[in-house]
Amino acid sequence: METLQKQNNELTTASFQVKTLETTVKTKFSQKLENIGLFPFKPTEIEILQINLGKLCNQVCEHCHVDAGPDRTEIMTKEVLQQCLEAAKNQSITTIDLTGGAPEMNPNFRWFVSELSQLGKKVIVRSNLTILTYKNYLDIPQFYKDNSVTVISSMPCYTKDNVDNQRGNGVFERSIQALQRLNELGYGKEGTGLELNLVYNPGGASLPPEQMALEGDYKRELKELFNIEFNNLYTITNLPISRFLDFLLKEEKYEKYMDKLIDSFNPVAAKEVMCRNTISVGWDGKLFDCDFNQMLELGVASSSQNIADFDNEQLKNRNIILGQHCYGCTAGAGSSCQGSLA
């Protein structure tokens, strides 16, 4: 008990140091954007609605920035889903990107995806793959095919140990099963139009390697070892928030990691970060500049703050809320939900 108290005290001290550093870094990030003529930071267009269907998940991954897991009760209701559908009809929106938790675990998931696909928009589901191997979800791969859903899935390595260390025991094996099932249906195969993309994020406090080269390694290894094919690999930088921040603090790597992100600031990536063409919708309908600002509860700086009163013009004119975590999007080749940027 005493040890736990000591750990808590240490974490509180470390959190305080992070807060102090945040204030300094925040100014520097704005300054960096000002230096390249990008401050105040504005959207270019609102093309993507990224919707968090809830924090419920069958996994508890080490670096999850949503803090998702089987015990989470936050789930988007049908009423809020209806409001998302209305907003999705907006002409400028071309893509609906569904995330979670495991989005499939929302009880209205199938209904919602069917409605979206009838709107003629591109529908992306960020699936953790393992959920597709459980009894109540075995129909989902076929359902994805029937609704022309693009599937994007985390696969932090092509080896069992690395995947299971980061995402939990048994995740690798189930992920391979799910990928093989998707391949059987035509996903990831040339000429089918059924897109299957994988996501890599580093296991520790480092930046991802070059995307194209890593994609080549993944394609070779997954084909040789498991006869698996996919379309693209997206490399993503771990942002210093939620569980990954806890990990950095515990390992006393926070400052070094932040220095690395700051030193690797890339102006080309800064122009392309996802908050410039995306609006993120929280499970309760609140609007955010991105998934990360959502987890930090930094709501949009606009009079349109909820999906119920979605106003494209108001949102297009807002200033994007920035913080120290933004350096994660602009470091090196940059990072977004669609992989590297530059």
When computed from its CA atoms, the radius of gyration of the chain, rounded to whole angstroms, is 20
Q: Does 87 bind ligand SF4 (CB under 6 A)?
A: no
Q: Does 247 bind ligand SF4 (CB under 6 A)?
A: no
Footprint (CB under 6 A) of ligand SF4, residues 27-66? 57, 59-61, 64, 66
What is the separation, in whole angstroms, between the first and last Cα of the chain?
49
Q: Which of 249, 307, 322, 333 binds ligand SF4 (CB under 6 A)?
A: 322
CB nearer ligand SF4, residue 68 or residue 123 = 68
Q: State how far the Cα of 182 lies from the Cα of 11, in Å rounded to an integer.
A: 43
CB nearer ligand SF4, residue 59 or residue 340 = 59
Q: Which of 53, 242, 325, 334 binds ligand SF4 (CB under 6 A)?
A: 325
User: Which residue reads 């809020």 in tokens?
Assistant: 80
Could you tell me the smallest distance in angstroms from the CB atom of residue 326 to ligand SF4?
3
Kindly determine how many residues on this chain lie close enough to bind ligand SF4 according to the rule CB under 6 A: 24
Separation of CA 220 from chain center: 25
Which of 338, 301, 87 has the alpha carbon at shortest distance from 200?
338
Could you tell me the smallest distance in angstroms from the CB atom of residue 158 to ligand SF4?
18
Q: State how far the Cα of 116 lies from the Cα of 122, in Å rounded to an integer.
A: 8
Check if the beta carbon of residue 183 is closer than 8 Å to that of residue 189: yes
Could you tell me the smallest distance in angstroms from the CB atom of residue 23 to ligand SF4?
16
Which runs of E-coded beta strand occur in 83-126?
Answer: 95-99, 122-126
CB nearer ligand SF4, residue 211 or residue 324 = 324
CB nearer ligand SF4, residue 186 or residue 267 = 267
User: Which residue reads 């799910």 in tokens?
Assistant: 178
Half-sphere exposure of 39 (CA within 13 A, CB side): 14
According to DSSP, the β-strands at 196-200 and 122-126 are unpaired
Residues 275-304: x where in contact with ligand SF4 by CB under 6 A, - otherwise, as a string: x-------------xx-xx-----------
Q: State how far the Cα of 85 lies from the Cα of 112, in Å rounded to an integer.
A: 8
DSSP state at residue 238? P
| Structure tokens belonging to residue 185 | 């249906």
CB nearer ligand SF4, residue 98 or residue 290 = 290
CB nearer ligand SF4, residue 104 or residue 215 = 104
Q: Which residues contact 12 (CB under 8 A, 6 or more apart)?
A: none
CB nearer ligand SF4, residue 83 or residue 336 = 336
Residues 206-225: x where in contact with ligand SF4 by CB under 6 A, - otherwise, as a string: --------------------
Binding interface with ligand SF4 (CB under 6 A): 57, 59-61, 64, 66, 68, 100-102, 128, 167, 273-275, 289-290, 292-293, 320, 322, 325-326, 329
